[in-house]
Amino acid sequence: LTEHKSDPVVVIGLGRFGTSLALELTRRGTEVLAIDNRPKITQALAGRITQIATADATDIEALRQLGVADFYQAVVAIGGDIEASILTTSLLVELEVNDIWAKAISIQHGRILDRIGAHHVVFPEHDMGERVAHLVSGRMLDYM
Ligand code: ATP
């Protein structure tokens, strides 16, 4: 998410990952349209993100109405519901969103996201594990 830093970003799925991403982008001055189908989640975040909508992201009409097709970047942060993740990602491809990021929870899930046209597939748990390994080994080197 570096190339077009100031462009608005759509974040779909406001679990722990999607929520912290949407809040961090907001903190950095990026306009965010956040979407989740659970009203409890969207209500809890109202006012903290530029625009927040309660909608089913697997419904192409809902995405159209929210203007998702006009965004340059989108992040699919749905993990557990793999079917919803894949369907949502394929709709973003269909809407010709230029830069689609999608979160995968397994290698197989990541492969499918890649094949259907996600431009970037991220594995948050795995990536964070690697980062912590760097931190830990860096700290350990300090003591050697
Ligand atoms: P995390 O580990 O980041 O908390 P997770 O990997 O467990 O998340 P999920 O709980 O599957 O991910 O999904 C994250 C969010 O996506 C949830 O808040 C859920 O309501 C939302 N979500 C799931 N399906 C849809 C959908 N079809 N449309 C919109 N939002 C959805």
- For 72-113, the pLDDT digits (tens) are 999 999 999 999 999 999 999 999 999 999 999 999 999 999
59 CA closest ligand 1 atom index: 27
Binding site membership of 19 for ligand 1 (Cβ less than 6 Å): no
Left (φ > 0), alpha (ψ -120 to 50) or beta: where does 76 sit?
Answer: beta
CA end-to-end distance (rounded Å), the chain: 36
Binned average pLDDT, 10 residues per bin, the chain of 144 residues: 70 96 94 97 94 98 98 96 98 97 96 98 89 79 62
* CA pair distance 98, 130, nearest whole angstrom: 28
Binding site membership of 58 for ligand 1 (Cβ less than 6 Å): yes
Residue 136 · residue 118 · CB < 8 Å: no
- pTM, 2 dp: 0.90
Structure ipTM: 0.94
What is the residue type of 143? Y
Binding site membership of 106 for ligand 1 (Cβ less than 6 Å): no
Q: Both tokens of residue 144? A: 């050697």
pLDDT for residue 85: 98
